[in-house]
């Protein structure tokens, strides 16, 4: 499923079939999120994760319903390279420390779902599919997570999710200034030039996308696609940094 501002989910297809197509497209990395697991307070679907990992030919990151170190261990043992936490990352210093000791920081990813909130329209981290406020700024939380030992942070703009109008570069700037942890940006990419702008502006950054890689045209017809190696090689080449 692909959402728009964390609502109005649109069916994209069977996840295993989607993985097979992304394999053929030689995707760099795949991020799979069970978006309802935390809301429904349930464990990850290990059978599905096992099937995804077995089919996936690229590095795989899983997110959704992970709250304990034992769950981290089990998911990594199924062949998943990275495990991401969102809700559990808010007060998860002890959890993060434990899983880093078990699986290494390179396998621990924190996802920050962010939207502008309040009269001042300041950036705030939300959880549970954007339904719960945390009162935390993404920059402050990112700095805290770095100290806790996470190996990567994914910053996801709820306001831009599925809109395909470009990344929120102001949000990226705030978080990038607060941490040196590898950062991946999600939410808003609608064309390759959006990825080009992001990669050209920052020396080390991950450019992630959902709608861009599963929809085509103004009517958002489902068509899984991905840039060619030649197109990827050109991204960021006209920017000040590469």
Q: Which residues are catalytic?
A: 113
Instruction: Give me 135's structure tokens.
Output: 């009162």
Contacts of 174 (CB under 8 A, 6+ apart): 123, 137, 138, 139
The two counts, helices (H) then strands (E), for the chain are: 9, 13
Give the C-alpha separation, 140 to 136, whole Å: 7
Strand 122-127 and strand 132-133: the pairing is antiparallel
Give the C-alpha separation, 155 to 206, whole Å: 10
CB neighbours of residue 221 within 10 Å: 9
Instruction: Give me 239's structure tokens.
Output: 């920017």
Give the C-alpha separation, 158 to 167, whole Å: 11
Give the C-alpha separation, 117 to 74, whole Å: 36
> Residue holding tokens 């030919």?
57
SS3 119: coil
């Amino acid at each position: 499923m692909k959402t728009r501002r964390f609502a109005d989910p649109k069916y994209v297809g069977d996840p295993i079939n989607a993985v097979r197509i992304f394999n053929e497209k030689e995707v760099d990395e795949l991020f799979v999120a069970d978006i309802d697991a935390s809301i429904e307070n349930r464990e990850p679907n290990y059978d599905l994760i096992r099937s995804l990992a077995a089919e996936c030919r690229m590095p795989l990151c899983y997110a959704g319903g992970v709250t304990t170190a034992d769950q981290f261990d089990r998911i990594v043992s199924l062949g998943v390279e990275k495990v991401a936490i969102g809700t559990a990352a808010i007060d998860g210093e002890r959890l993060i420390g434990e899983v880093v000791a078990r699986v290494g920081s390179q396998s621990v990813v924190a996802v920050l779902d962010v939207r502008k909130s309040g009269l001042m329209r300041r950036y705030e981290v939300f959880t549970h599919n954007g339904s719960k406020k945390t009162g935390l700024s993404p920059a402050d939380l990112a700095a805290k997570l770095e100290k806790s030992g996470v190996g990567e942070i994914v910053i996801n703009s709820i306001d831009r999710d599925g809109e395909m109008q470009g990344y929120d570069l102001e949000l990226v700037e705030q978080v990038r200034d607060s941490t040196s942890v590898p950062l991946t940006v999600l939410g808003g990419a609608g064309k390759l030039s959006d990825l080009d702008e992001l990669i050209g502006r920052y020396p080390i950054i991950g450019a992630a996308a959902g709608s861009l890689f599963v929809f085509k045209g103004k009517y958002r017809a489902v068509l899984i696609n991905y840039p060619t190696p030649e197109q990827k090689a050109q991204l960021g080449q006209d920017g000040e940094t590469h």
